[in-house]
Amino acid sequence: MRPLMSKRHALKAGAFVATVIASEGLTGFLTMDRHAPAFERDPDHDMERRYAQWYIPNAMWGMIIDLSKCDGCVDLAIPRCTAACQEGHFLPTSGYGPNGEIEDAQMVHEYIKVFKVQENSWSEPYFFPRPCQQCIDPPCVHVCPVAAAWQRSGDRMTLVEQERCIGCRLCMAGCPYEVRFFHWEENPRSEDPGFKEAFEMEMPFSINKQKGVVAKCDFCGNQFLGKLPHCVASCHKGALYFGNLLENAVTNNFGETLLVDETISKRNGMRWKEDEGTKPRVFYLPALKE
Amino acid sequence: MTDDITINQDEIDKSLYIRDGMPMSEEEVLRRRGEVERTFLTTSAKEIAVMSIFAALMLVGFGYYLIHQFIYGLTDTNLSQKVFWGAYITSFVFWIGVSHVGMLISAVLRMFNLKYRTPITRMAEEVTIVSLVMGAASVLIDMGRLDRAHHILVFANITSPLVWDVISITFYLTGSMIFFITPLIPDMAYYRDNLDPEKHRLRVMIYKFLAFNFKGTPEQYEHLNGKIMERLKFIILPVAFSVHTVVSWIFAVTWRPGWKSTIFGPYFIFGAVFSGTAALISLLVAFTVVYDLEDYITAKHIRSATFILIVTNLGYMYFTINEYIIGAYQSEVEEMEVLRQVLYGDQSLVFWFIIWITMAVPLIMNFYLIHFKDKKWVYIWSMVASILVNIGAWLKRWVIIIPTLRIPVISEGEDAIAPQMINGSLYPYFPSTTEIMITIAQFAFFIFFYWFLNKLIPLIPIWEVEHEWEVDGLVDGKTPQRLHEESWGQYDRSFLHGH
């Protein structure tokens, strides 16, 4: 009787099965669950990362920016929010000239930047502060080859793990808001008084002293201490509101609290580049002129 | 398997290899082998002098890298927070593009069974390997943290186009190495057996390794000619296509105007084959003229390769028109900010130089090649045309990458210009000395390493060419096998020893 399967065929079939199993394993290795920016995800996956536990449960931090209040701080060379951010994060500022113009474009890190925008020649120009939009579906996390750009499971903050970043700058290309900044050289302000303390204590994941890695706004992380981010706390007009979107409340520098849903529907609040599908957590209230 | 192919006299007349219409004598075959042996077994003082110029350029660039960039980081470049990719990424796309000629020659021409492929296969595969290495090096140079390069394997995130790139480039490099090493075996075995082991101790050692215990039996030749290469050519084609497609996706997956394009994959593939063929033609002409290889590579080969250049040139023009004209017609605000620079802004000189001088002129030159009776003019014109194409290929990558990065993220209206903007609205970028020196060093490295490789191994696949002569009826018997039956002393090779 003819054997069911010759030795050669059996070997071939075995090799095929082995290949399938191996490629399954490889795929599993490459798509390690914790790297994927999945929506519903077990928070335990990120536990080996730094700052993974630094979140408050049931929080979704967000910002509302009232464009009619922002005056662009035209009295200053650098707007207050930008300056406070750079001070708080110990960011290099040596790239600025005397009048706030950029002279060395490598040494300027504006995690929040104020633009002067004019939609068309009929409309009045207004000022547009731009922090990281903290997308719910962030492109930077998708394109990062080493998953150094990652989204924390607990409150879904997009963070950068500087110990892992290889400095390819693909996330800078992928970010539609251009809020990611490259540290071209070792942070010259890492010798500043207070740097070490801040690095260890206050808001560890937003301070960087390494060269050749990417860093960005991460809403300061002061929320654990019940504080507002530096930019929000420094705004002399109270144009920036910060808070937990799940609690439906945001607060500005003067303690004014807004209801998120009500404010957004009444004031026609919108998100920047909604068509990119990134679902930002920063809402802009259009400028109203009295 | 190929033994029973019979070819009639008409086809022999049309064959590329017939010089005088007469079958070759054995002495003639051996003399032609000697032509190749002269190129890699001997090195004249002049060659060493020219090679050391390239080596010096290479070392200067390497020195710049070590002294400036490795120590101080990327701060030594003129890149900025806005224009964060520059000359290195331009070079990366350029080198990966050049590498596609190996796929074209080894797989496509082999598939269509085009005979002029045979003597130029090895040179093409060498271009592929060296330029792939240069492409990978460009990315490593551009990385902020070279010390963490292994992270891309340890923490690989499969949704990243860069990881796709690592996968496909690794596959392509491996496949090209197989395409390079497999047809090398019989030649290596021949020189392992026939070189004087006292005189060429190192060479014989290397050849012994690369010959993989090849004995030259008919079964082994059958296996080489049939199974391996016939299967490989179908595998390498999609791999090579994936490489440059994925490189284009690094740009195309982003939101950026000028990059956000669905035709970037085929556009880059055409550009790749275009520049790769041009690089090969330059090297073919240079090596043919310098080493007098006209018994193997003739003006006919150059013309045939030029035909590929014409086809890809037209294809690339077609894609360029699609990409730019349609973008201009839609005149989306952000798209127009890119196009304004490219078409009549400060990048327009580069763009129109590419279009007219490095695409239109070579196209016309290549069309006119057919009118030249004198091979000298074929060589000169194809050399000039292909070098122009190469220059244009690098610049075209520049025009794709840089203008997109220079535009502001927020369209700030005609009247209002943010006080913190550089230069009104566009961010400046021009490579720094370090970037320029490292880029030049990459080209020097390519030429030096390519040349060096051709000093180690015969740059013509001798056995394959002779096998074709045999198939064409130009040589009696099984010539490739006879390589192994012959002894070294039959033919006077005294020139190899200098005098």
Instruction: Using the structure block, give the residue that is written with the tokens 């892992």.
Output: A164
A&B contacts, CB < 8 Å:
165
Confidence of residue B2 (pLDDT cuts 50, 70, 90): very low
Range A52-69 burial, b when 16+ CB lie within 10 A, else e: bebbeeebbbbbbbbbbb
Domains (range + CATH), chain A: 33-285 (3.30.70.20)
B446: Cβ contacts below 8 Å, ≥ 6 apart? B95, B130, B131, B134
**Residue A268: which region, alpha, beta or left (left: phi > 0; alpha: psi -120 to 50)?**
left
Residue with more model confidence, B360 or A200: B360
Does residue A5 sit in helix, strand or coil?
coil
Please, are residues B95 and B138 in contact by the beta-carbon 8 Å criterion?
A: yes
Alpha carbons B33 and B256: distance in angstroms, whole number: 55
pLDDT of residue A33: 44
Neighboring chain A residues of B412 at a CB cutoff of 8 Å: 115-118
- Nearest neighbour of A118 by CB, restricted to B254, B416, B420: B416
CA dihedral A198, A202, A207, A209 (to 10 degrees): 30
Tell me whether residues B422 and A144 touch, CB distance under 8 A.
no
Interface touch A105/B80, C-beta < 8 Å? yes
B84 vs A contacts (CB less than 8 Å)? 169, 172-173, 182
User: Three-class SS of residue B463?
Assistant: helix
Q: Testing the interface with B: which of A102, A107, A114 to mutate, by most B Cβ within 10 A? A: A102
Q: How far is A58 from chain B (nearest CA, A)?
A: 28
CA distance B98 to B128: 7
Distance from CA of A38 to the nearest CA of B (A): 12
**For testing contact with chain A, the best of B88, B138, B155 (most A CBs within 10 A):** B155
Provide, as residue numbers in chain B, all residues whose Cβ is less than 8 Å from the Cβ of A212.
73-74, 143-145
How far is residue B324 from each of residues A142, B264, B348, measured CA to CA in Å?
A: 28, 12, 13
> What are the pLDDT digits (tens) for B364-417?
999 988 788 888 899 999 999 999 999 999 999 999 999 999 888 776 544 334
Q: For A87-108, how does the pLDDT look when each residue is reduced to its tens digit (9 = 90+)?
A: 888 898 888 888 877 888 888 8
> CB distance A106–B81 less than 8 Å?
yes
pLDDT tens track for B302-325: 888 999 999 999 999 999 999 999
Contact A30 B253 (CB under 8 A): no
Cβ contact, residue pair A117, B142, below 8 Å? no
Which residues in chain A (161-190) have CB-CB distances under 8 A to chain B?
164-170, 172-174, 176-178, 181-186
> What confidence category does residue B422 fall into, taking pLDDT thresholds of 50, 70 and 90?
very low
Whether residues A165 and B412 touch (CB distance < 8 A) is answered with no
- Who among B84, B163, B420 is closest to A145 (CB)? B163
Which of the residue ranges A8-22, B109-123, B249-263 would you say has the lowest mean pLDDT? Answer: A8-22
Instruction: Report how far residue B211's alpha carbon sits from residue B185's, in angstroms, rounded to the nearest whole number.
Output: 5
Nearest to B144 among A101, A121, A213 (CB): A213
- Is the pLDDT at A149 greater than 50? The verdict is yes
How distant is the Cα of A55 from the closest Cα of chain B, in angstroms? 24
Question: Nearest-CA neighbor of A205 among A187, A217, A188?
Answer: A217
Q: Within an 8 Å CB–CB cutoff, is residue A67 touching chain B?
A: no
pLDDT in tens, B321-370: 999 999 889 888 788 888 888 988 889 999 999 999 999 999 999 998 87
Query: In this complex, which of A35, A164, A186 lies closest to B151 when CB atoms are compared?
Result: A164
Ordered by where they begin, the domains of chain B are 31-408+425-490 (1.20.1630.10)
